[in-house]
Amino acid sequence: KPAADDANDKDADKDNEDAEEADDDALKTGRFTVEETEDQLGHWAYVPEEYNADYRYALMVWLHPNADTMEATVFKEWKTHCDQRGIILLAPKKAKVAGWVPNDAESVKQLIDQFIDKYSIDESRVVAHGYSSGGPFTSLLTFKYRELIRGLSLVGSLIAQRPPENRPDFRLQIQLVCGDQDPRYALVQRTGAALKSAKFPVTVTTINGQAHAYPPSERVAEIARWIDILDRL
């Protein structure tokens, strides 16, 4: 084979590799999925399709319960709010049925850092949102990286550990949502009262008549509004 042809083939291969790298680095919008690798957690995300780099978006990090990513439900409930209120949704996925463990916190933080680097994010509106068995890890992550995560929103879930000292320079807003028929309801109420006594800014929302379940659409709208105004609370 002529040497010139070999050189052309190598140039073509390099061009293809460069194009693939450019695709990887390109800003993705809409709903997309990234598979897990040795270096990164798998995740799905939704970035408003009318993404505007001149606007600073809130970032909601969804931490799913054990063995159920709830992807279809969360996407359905949140897409419109993301579009209307300027929220980027990042949803790490834990492959193991056993669910999140403390060592996963650093990997989730790396994903958050990646999104903050890539997209126009309002760092005063970065929120960790967890439900049911995903809640304890959500609170652990928030307390560990409170300089990064400024809001903690838990639904039908308990806080895993004692929160850190309340510091005005790293003001942390907390939202607890629970149905009054949920077995965790009394504990959630006591947790909210204890946080208020410790001078944490906390909002406790009761869903009347609801057992242990993700909130109905009108309550999801309230969570979205809370995220939207987080920097002004």
pLDDT (0 to 100) of residue 166: 75
Q: Which CATH class is domain 29-232?
A: alpha beta
* pLDDT of 14: 58
End-to-end CA distance of the chain: 70
SS3 19: helix
Domain ranges of the chain: 29-232
Task: Note whether 175 and 207 are within 8 A (CB).
Answer: no
State pLDDT tens for residues 111-165: 999 999 999 999 999 999 999 999 999 999 999 999 999 999 999 999 978 888 7
